[in-house]
Structures are given as C-alpha cells and as structure tokens.
C-alpha cells in the first residue's frame, strides 16, 4: 500500500490498552505453520488443504485433540510442544531453490500435490547426523522439513520471494521465484512503529500459540516479549479462540476493562473472540482477504498497522487514529 493512498474515513477514539494477537498480526510465519500442518496431515492421511483451513487461528491443543485419534489429554501438552518446535524448525530452514527438480517435474496435469511431492528429490539435511539423542531428533525434524519443503512451495507468494531476492542482493527472476522456498518468521508492516509508540505497561499479547511458538516467533523478529503474554498453554485458560477467554485474561492481567481495550487480529476466529470480549477490534488483512473477515463484527478493517496511529495522552489514555 502506497504511503500516498487516500483513505475515505478517519476515526479517532481513546482506549486504555492494546491486546495483540501474534501470528498473522505481529509476525508472519504462515509458510512454516502450513508446512507443519501439511506434515501432520500427511502423517494422519488427511487432506492438507482442509487441515490448514480448519486449524487457522485456533489453539494447537484444540486442533490436535480433534485431529489425532486416541490422543489423551495428559499427552496434549507434550504433543503441542513437539509440534510447535517443528514450526520453528521449518522457519529456521534457509531458503532453497528447487529449480533443477521442481521445474522439470512441473506439469499442468499434475494436480495431485502428493504426487508432486513424491516426484521431487529430497533436500540434504543441513546438519550432519550423529548418534546422540539430540542430534537424532534434529535429523528427524530436518528430514521431515526436507520432505515437506517441496510440498509447500506453491503456498509462497511472489511478493515474499522478491523480498528474499532483494535481501540477498541477487537479481529477481520471476520464473525462478516459484522454486525458492523461504519460511522464515517476519515482522509485519507497521508493527515495530506501533509497539514503539506504546508504553510497556499498555499492551499485551494474547495468542492461540503456546509459549514455545509465541516466544520463538517474537524473538526471531526482535519483538520484546511483553510482561503480559497469554499463550494457549496458560493453565488459567479453559477455552481458546473463538471464545473471548484469552483476551479477557490478557485485559485482566493488564489491569484494564476489556471494553476499554483495542484488539488487533487477523483471523476470523480471533476477530470473533475480540468482539465477544467487548473490545474495539481492528482487523488486519494480513492473512485473509477483506471479504473473508469483513462481516464478523470488527469495528475497523485495515490493510496493515501502518493505517493506525497511537498517541499516549497525559491522562494515561491512548488516542487512536485509524485511516480506513
């Protein structure tokens, strides 16, 4: 979105604090998340597209309880931690080019993604194997990553790929773009400026990710983990999004009324949770197109946080100016 874009409306209001969702709102790790759910879907012989669609914006614990047959409640926490470490492992995998094998196997008739995946040669694990338990676990994760990288390449946009080319100072070849896979965690537009404009005691994170994933993403993007950070594995939470519980708990920990909070969200389930909490909800079109989130109850819909300005007033309130 150009800085010269003229918006039709400008709205100004005050609040006492901000509650951020994390992934898709502060950070973008969608490629790594979808790679991890793709691997899990394949493991369970499920359709990856359906699994990805059903799991977005919800707690991994809720998703795994629904997807994994016979998973016992006492084992959920360990399974969530293992799954979220897999996401971060995908995110830390350096970008690879699949030009030689992917291009040669691409065919208009190849609509079965499982067939496409099996037709490609696996990538070489980045770390040599050894016989220590930690090394064996790393090798296992890297093997799964290598296998799934090919399968998830079609998910990545040319915009993301072109950014990688710029960072590498290498010429951008649109034909080769589809063959570069980059799953690193990125900070989203306007986020750093937004956080820097807020006093530390005025904002919190309330995410459907557990602590491993949440802290991992924030650390990878240089976002300081706030003192109030409600994650999906918080023992006080009985329900996750789309129920309002995460935002209600975050507001309570922040010492503000939920009706005096501003929620930033990107997913339908998160928007519903924010609305149900009584907060003012600003939806960002970072993971879903506007038509997918415009009829869920959000008070404002913006393309990025660049359209929102926050000022800290002398009386302690926050004044928001939203261009939309």
CA dist 297 to 188, 252, 270, 271, Å? Answer: 23, 23, 11, 7
In this predicted structure, what is the pLDDT of residue 182?
82
| 45 and 170 co-located in one domain | yes
| 21 and 74 co-located in one domain | no
What confidence tens digit (pLDDT) does each residue in 194-238 have?
Answer: 999 999 999 999 999 999 999 999 999 999 999 999 999 999 999
Judge whether 5 lies within some domain. Answer: no
| 93 and 172 co-located in one domain | yes
Judge whether 313 lies within some domain. Answer: yes
| 160 and 194 co-located in one domain | no
Assess contact for 205 and 241: CB atoms under 8 A.
Answer: no
| 49 and 149 co-located in one domain | yes
Judge whether 1 lies within some domain. Answer: no
| 192 and 311 co-located in one domain | yes
Cα end-to-end distance, the chain, whole Å: 12
User: Percent of the chain having pLDDT more than 90?
Assistant: 60
What distance in Å separates the CA atoms of residue 77 and residue 231, rounded to the nearest whole number?
12
Range of the domain at 80: 30-181
Final residue belonging to a domain, choices 181, 215, 243 = 181
In this predicted structure, what is the pLDDT of residue 139?
46
What confidence tens digit (pLDDT) does each residue in 139-173 have?
Answer: 444 455 455 444 444 444 333 433 433 444 445 45
Residue 32 pairs in a beta bridge with none
Is the per-residue pLDDT at 132 higher than 60?
A: no
| 198 and 163 co-located in one domain | no
Final residue belonging to a domain, choices 155, 181, 207 = 181
Judge whether 198 lies within some domain. Answer: yes
Q: Tell me the pairing of strands 203-206 and 17-20.
A: parallel
98-107, 149-158, 313-322, range with greatest mean pLDDT: 313-322
Final residue belonging to a domain, choices 181, 209, 231 = 181
| 62 and 121 co-located in one domain | yes
pLDDT (average), residues 18-43? 93
Query: Based on the structure, what is the number of domains in the chain?
Result: 2
Question: Maximum CA pair distance of the chain?
Answer: 64
Judge whether 258 lies within some domain. Answer: yes
| 24 and 35 co-located in one domain | no
pLDDT band at 128 (very low <50, low <70, confident <90, very high): very low
Judge whether 79 lies within some domain. Answer: yes
A 10 A CB-CB count for 296 gives 20
| 207 and 303 co-located in one domain | yes
In this predicted structure, what is the pLDDT of residue 8?
81
Judge whether 91 lies within some domain. Answer: yes
Judge whether 38 lies within some domain. Answer: yes
In this predicted structure, what is the pLDDT of residue 117?
33
Is the per-residue pLDDT at 126 higher than 70?
A: no
| 198 and 253 co-located in one domain | yes
In this predicted structure, what is the pLDDT of residue 86?
93
Please report, for the domain that includes residue 208, its CATH number: 3.40.50.1000
| 204 and 290 co-located in one domain | yes
């Amino acid at each position: 979105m150009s800085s010269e874009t003229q918006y039709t409306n400008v709205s100004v209001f005050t609040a006492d604090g901000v509650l951020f969702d994390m992934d898709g709102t502060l950070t973008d790790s969608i490629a790594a998340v979808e790679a991890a759910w793709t691997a899990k879907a394949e493991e369970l012989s499920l359709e990856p597209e359906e699994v990805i669609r059903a799991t977005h914006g919800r707690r991994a614990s809720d998703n795994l309880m629904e997807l994994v047959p016979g998973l016992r409640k006492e084992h959920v926490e360990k399974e969530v931690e293992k799954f979220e470490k897999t996401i971060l492992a995908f995110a830390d995998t350096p970008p690879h080019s699949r030009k030689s094998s992917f291009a040669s196997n691409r065919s208009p008739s190849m609509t079965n993604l499982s067939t496409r995946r099996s037709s490609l040669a696996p990538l070489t694990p980045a770390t040599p194997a050894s016989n220590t338990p930690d090394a064996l676990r790393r090798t296992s994760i890297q093997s799964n990553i290598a296998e799934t990288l090919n399968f998830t390449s079609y998910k990545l946009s040319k915009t993301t790929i072109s950014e990688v080319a710029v960072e590498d100072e290498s010429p951008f070849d649109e034909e080769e773009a589809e063959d570069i896979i980059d799953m690193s965690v990125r900070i989203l537009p306007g986020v750093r400026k937004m956080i820097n404009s807020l006093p530390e005691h005025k904002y919190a994170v309330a995410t459907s990710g557990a602590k491993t994933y949440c802290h991992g993403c924030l650390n990878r993007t240089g976002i300081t983990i706030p003192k109030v950070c409600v994650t999906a594995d918080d023992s006080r939470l009985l329900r996750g999004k789309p129920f309002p519980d995460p935002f209600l708990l975050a507001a309570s920990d922040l010492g503000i009324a939920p009706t005096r909070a501003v929620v930033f969200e990107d997913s339908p389930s998160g928007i519903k949770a924010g609305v149900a909490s009584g907060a003012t909800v600003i939806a960002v079109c970072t993971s879903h197109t506007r038509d997918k989130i415009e009829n869920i109850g959000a008070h404002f819909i913006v393309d990025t946080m660049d359209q929102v300005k926050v000022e800290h007033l002398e009386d302690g309130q926050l004044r928001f100016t939203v261009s939309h």
